[in-house]
Amino acid sequence: MSDIATATEKQGMDCLVIHGGRPLAGSVEVSGAKNAALPLMAATLLAPGEHVITRVPRLADTATMVRVLEALGAKVRWDATGMHVDTRSTSSVEAPYELVKTMRASIYVLGPLLARFGRARVSLPGGCAWGPRPVDLHIKGMEALGATIEIDEGYIVATAPQGNGAPGGLRGTRFDFPISSVGATGNLLMAAVLARGTSEITNVAIEPEITQLAEMLVAMGAQIEGIGTTHLTVEGVESLSPTSIEVIPDRIEAGTYLAAGAMTLGDVTVTRCRPAHLAATLQALERAGSRVTIDGSTVSLQSGGRPRGADLVTAVFPGFPTDMQAQMMAVATIADGTSTITDTIYHDRFAHAPELARMGADIRVDGNVAVVVGRDRLKGAPVMATDLRASAALVLAGLAAEGETRVSRIYHLDRGYEALAEKLAMLGAQVERRADTE
């Protein structure tokens, strides 16, 4: 596994060279969801034994989570069936800065460590390319369960009182999230399942990735009611057992390939996905003029010609996902008409806008609102982005643009898209991964 991490690091400075202007056509299989796999991997810490997680995407972020688990003493191996995580030998409660700084989602180990061992030392993630992205709700959740939190040399040091019979000494609580948080919901849930007594947790995130985490915890022996709703009741248990689970398909990856179809006036099919998780994205693509058909776990998109301008507002699930905002902005840049795109989840997630402008896009950003006036065409250019979905938007723009687009710093893409260049090539894109010499 470390080999994958090293290889990924080496290739991190690669760029993608795209010759755009050809409609994408064909079919690609969706990978397992990064944002589901990461908390499932962290949840293995709750029960000593060997867990099997299948359909874990091979990405830089899952490789980082493997390194976090290994730093804690777990043993991780991949085979043809999937990822095997053996948590019997867990020997440390420290998630080091070197790993957490490369992936914020490392904070998912906080809840499980505290719940099982009564102690955790997890580096604070720090800032992010599009703003502060605080972790205060993760911390407040742990405090509500009885933990004492100190910040020491950049680390969250969490300690639970001992002696109440729960493995880690946490106690059940009532916690109402002031805003919906995917990660903080996951962390609090993982901690509450081994706390003593009942927890009532309200205004929880209901993203499919969190629902799957709750389902995994139940398969491990946790008692959780209200799964899929914003009100969870957790009855703490004394111990949990290892389990096997298949990661749900990546709704954002699926949406990205469909958006590539819309953007290139093509005809793209994604297979092995869950259309129900994609509803808001499919509606957005339809509003932009594409024809969408669903057949079981397969979704096909047929372009209806030049996209139409359409307004978009991101929201928590089942609303339109912020992780698709950049890709749909790329579509809007070549639409007939004007689109107003509002991100209500993050207020500064528009790193792609100035880069798209380098390709000829007309975008005006004001706070968390971007107004995109569609242009007839984009023109290829060297571009780079500072985060994963922004980079995806630049790739989509490059696929539609005239001439050559070079997307640098594709380590961002390696964090979240499995075999991106290969999958795009299967759809007929002219795309090549090269060492970035500039």
User: Which residues are catalytically annotated?
Assistant: 128
Tell me, residue by residue from 204 to 223, as one string, x for binding to ligand EPU by CB under 6 A and - for no binding. -x---x--------------
Shortest Å, Cβ 86 to ligand EPU: 23
Among 31, 123, 159, 181, binds ligand EPU (CB under 6 A): 181
- At a CB cut-off of 8 Å and minimum separation 6, what does 210 contact? 39, 182, 185, 186, 189, 204
In angstroms, rounded to a whole number, what is the distance separating the alpha carbons of residues 372 and 332?
6
End-to-end Cα separation, the chain, in angstroms: 30
Shortest Å, Cβ 33 to ligand EPU: 9
| Main-chain dihedrals φ then ψ at residue 162, nearest 5 degrees | -100, 165
Contact 296, 332 (CB under 8 A): no
Contact 362, 375 (CB under 8 A): yes
Question: Does residue number 389 form part of the binding site for ligand EPU (CB under 6 A)?
Answer: yes
Shortest Å, Cβ 8 to ligand EPU: 17
Name the segment binding ligand EPU (CB under 6 A); options: 181-189, 288-296, 334-342, 351-359.
Answer: 181-189
Question: Does residue number 7 form part of the binding site for ligand EPU (CB under 6 A)?
Answer: no
Question: Does residue number 184 form part of the binding site for ligand EPU (CB under 6 A)?
Answer: yes
Among 323, 343, 355, 414, binds ligand EPU (CB under 6 A): 323
Q: Which of residues 391-430 bind ligand EPU (CB under 6 A)?
A: 416
Question: Does residue number 250 form part of the binding site for ligand EPU (CB under 6 A)?
Answer: no
CA-to-CA separations, 184 to 33, 137, 141, 190, 329, in angstroms, rounded:
18, 6, 7, 10, 28
Contact 124, 93 (CB under 8 A): no
Question: Does residue number 123 form part of the binding site for ligand EPU (CB under 6 A)?
Answer: no
Q: Which of residues 36-95 bind ligand EPU (CB under 6 A)?
A: 38
In angstroms, rounded to a whole number, what is the distance separating the alpha carbons of residues 180 and 251?
19
Nearer to ligand EPU, 14 or 207 (CB): 207
Name the segment binding ligand EPU (CB under 6 A); options: 176-184, 234-242, 254-262, 361-369.
Answer: 176-184
Shortest Å, Cβ 316 to ligand EPU: 7
Question: Does residue number 35 form part of the binding site for ligand EPU (CB under 6 A)?
Answer: yes
Contact 196, 170 (CB under 8 A): yes
In angstroms, rounded to a whole number, what is the distance separating the alpha carbons of residues 84 and 346?
35
Q: Which of residues 186-205 bind ligand EPU (CB under 6 A)?
A: 205
CA-to-CA separations, 328 to 198, 286, 339, 353, in angstroms, rounded:
42, 12, 10, 12
In angstroms, rounded to a whole number, what is the distance separating the alpha carbons of residues 74 and 242?
13
Shortest Å, Cβ 318 to ligand EPU: 12
Q: By rule CB under 6 A, what count of residues binds ligand EPU?
A: 23
In angstroms, rounded to a whole number, what is the distance separating the alpha carbons of residues 295 and 372?
33
Tell me, residue by residue from 127 to 146, as one string, x for binding to ligand EPU by CB under 6 A and - for no binding. ------xxxxxx--------
Shortest Å, Cβ 6 to ligand EPU: 22
Tell me, residue by residue from 103 to 122, as one string, x for binding to ligand EPU by CB under 6 A and - for no binding. --x-----------------
In angstroms, rounded to a whole number, what is the distance separating the alpha carbons of residues 119 and 138?
15
How many other CB atoms are found less than 10 A from the CB of residue 25?
16
Q: Which of residues 344-383 bind ligand EPU (CB under 6 A)?
A: 345-346
| Main-chain dihedrals φ then ψ at residue 50, nearest 5 degrees | -100, 120
- At a CB cut-off of 8 Å and minimum separation 6, what does 96 contact? 71, 123
Nearer to ligand EPU, 137 or 285 (CB): 137
In angstroms, rounded to a whole number, what is the distance separating the alpha carbons of residues 99 and 248?
25
What is the DSSP secondary structure assignment for residue 293, as one 8-state letter?
E
Nearer to ligand EPU, 67 or 196 (CB): 67
Shortest Å, Cβ 56 to ligand EPU: 14
Among 269, 322, 325, 405, binds ligand EPU (CB under 6 A): 322
Nearer to ligand EPU, 131 or 165 (CB): 131
Shortest Å, Cβ 108 to ligand EPU: 8
Return the residue nearest ligand EPU (CB atom). 183
Q: Is the dihedral of CA 256, 257, 258, 260 positive or negative?
A: positive
Nearer to ligand EPU, 183 or 380 (CB): 183
Q: 149: exposed, middle or buried (C-beta count within 10 Å: 0-12, 13-18, 19+)?
A: middle
Positions that interact with ligand EPU (CB under 6 A): 35, 38, 105, 133-138, 179, 181-184, 205, 209, 322-323, 345-346, 388-389, 416
